[in-house]
Amino acid sequence: MGKLVRVRRRPRYPSVPMGGSLGEVGGPSPEDLMWGIVREACGACRGGILHLLSLELDDDWCGEFIVGEGSRSLCLYLGGRDSGFRVEIGPGASRVCFMGERVWLVGDGRHDPLAREGLRGDVVCVANERATELLSEALCAFAGARGVFHVEADGPMGPGGRPYDVYVRNACLAPYRRTIANVTFHVNCDATKEDWAAHAGAAADPTGQGMGSSRADAEWLARRLQQSDAAPFLTPCISGGEGGRSSCLHLNGRDGDFWVSLGPHVSKICRMGECVWFVAESFRGELPCQDRCGDVIYGGAVEGRPRAELLGLICDVARAFAGATGAFHDELVVVGGRAVPPDLDRPDSRSYDVYVRNDHTEPYRRRLSNIDLHVNCDAAADDWEGV
C-alpha cells in the first residue's frame, strides 16, 4: 500500500506572536508584524473579502508618525494605491486608514497620544496585550465597506485610553459587535439611517462645467465608486492629472482592462474591450473616426453641463462594468426613419444597447441619452455566444 504524505506549505503571511508594545526590544520586525496582522485578519474575516483584495507593500514609506531620525516604517495598500485603504506600521505608532477614518495604535511610553494634535478626531488606542488584534479587526471590518464613522463614547478610561464606537456599513459581512481594548466595532448594527446621514462625509462635488481631467476629478470619481455597491470589485489607482494632462483611473490594476480616462475634451470608460466615449460637441468632428469605430459614443450634452453630472454618468457606466464577466453592444443608426451606416460625427443619430453580464447585481436598465444599459436582462443565452 502507498503511504499518504500530507504537505503543508509555509503560509504566505508568517505567524508571529501578537500583542505587546510596538517597537519593543526583541519584538517582531515591522515586516513580520505587518504580515502577522494581515494573516490574523484574513483568518477571522467572517466571510468578508479581505483575502480577495490586492496587496501592495511600500517598504520606504515616510509617515507622519515617524519618531526619530533614521526611523523606518511600512505601508501596505489594500485594494489599490488610491483606494484610501492602507495599514502603516512604524516604530512609534501604527494605524489603519479607510475612507478618511484612522484607527491608531500608539506605543505606550513613547509619547502621549492624546496630546498630539495630529491624532485629534481619530480613534486612538495605547498599546496593550490586545493591541495588534485591534488593527486586525479594523482590516476585517473595513474590507468591502461602503461607509464608516466613529464617535467618542461616554465612559471611564480603559487600558487603551478613552472609549470609541466605530460604526461600519459592510454588505459583505453579517451584523456583529465586538470590543477590543477601548474600541467597539459595530458592523451593520446599532446605527440608524439618521446617524449615517449625519456622518455621510461625502466629498464636495467638483465645480465647473464640462469634463474635468485633474487628479482631483479622478479622486472624486474613485471615492464615489467606493461608496457604491461596486466597491468590492475595484482596485483604484490614479495616474496623470498634473499640469493640465489627462488623468486615468485604473480600476483593476495599472495593466488591467478596466479604466476610466478623463480629459478636457474626451473621456472614456473601457472594460473587456468595450469602450464608452464622452466627447465634447466642439471636438466630435476632430477625433479620427478609426479611433472610436465600433465603440459606444455618448450623444447627449457635454459642454456647458455641470461637471458633477458628467462624472455621475461615467460613474453609472463604471458601476455596471464592475465585477462583470461579459459585455457587448448593439448599434442602430436611424436617419429619416431608416437604418443607415454610422455617421461617426453625429453621435446623436445613433442609439446603443449595451448588455452586461454581472453576477453581483440584480437585473436593471439605465438610459443615458442615446445609450441603454441592460444589466443581466434583455439578452438571450445565444446572444452571449462568443463574448
pLDDT of 110: 47
- Beta-carbon contacts of residue 286 (< 8 Å; ≥ 6 apart): none
Cell 481594548 belongs to 181
3-state DSSP of the chain: CCCCCCCCCCCCCCCCCCCCCCCCCCCCCHHHHHHHHHHHHHHCCCCCCHHHCCEEEEEEECCCCCCCCCCCEEEEEECCCCCCCEEEECCCEEEEEECCEEEEEECCCCCCHHHCHHHCCCEEEECCCCHHHHHHHHHHHHCCCCEEEEEECCCCCECCECCEEEEEECCCCCCEEEEECCEEEEECCCCCHHHHHHCCCCCCCCCCECCCCCHHHHHHHHHHHHCCCCHHHCECEEEECCCCCCEEEECECCCCCEEEEECCCEEEEEECCEEEEEECHHHCCCCCHHHHCCCEECCCCCCCCEHHHHHHHHHHHHHHHCCCCEEEEEEEEEECCEECCCCCCCHHHEEEEEEEECCCCCCEEEEECCEEEEECCCCCHHHHCCC
Contact present, 89 and 67 (Cβ < 8 Å): no
- In sequence order, what are the beta bridge partners of 147? 169
pLDDT string in tens for the chain (387-residue length): 667 765 655 555 444 444 444 555 456 677 888 888 888 888 766 667 787 788 888 876 655 554 444 456 788 999 888 888 999 887 778 889 998 899 998 876 544 444 455 677 899 888 766 667 899 999 999 998 989 999 998 777 766 788 999 999 998 899 999 999 889 999 999 999 999 988 876 567 888 898 888 999 999 999 899 888 888 888 899 998 887 789 999 998 888 899 999 999 999 999 999 999 999 999 888 877 656 778 999 999 999 999 999 999 999 999 999 999 999 999 987 665 555 445 444 555 689 999 999 998 999 999 999 999 999 999 999 999 877
Of 65, 202, 83, give the one whose Cα is nearest residue 144: 83
pLDDT of 111: 46
Show contacts of 191-200: CB within 8 Å, 24+ apart: 191/167, 195/149, 195/167, 196/147, 196/149, 196/167, 196/169, 199/149, 199/167, 200/147
- Beta-carbon contacts of residue 38 (< 8 Å; ≥ 6 apart): 13, 50, 55, 76, 87, 136, 139
Model-level pTM? 0.77
| Predicted confidence (pLDDT) per residue in 180-234, tens digit | 988 999 999 999 999 998 887 656 788 889 888 899 999 999 989 988 888 888 8
Backbone dihedral region of 109: left (phi > 0), alpha (psi from -120 to 50 degrees) or beta? left
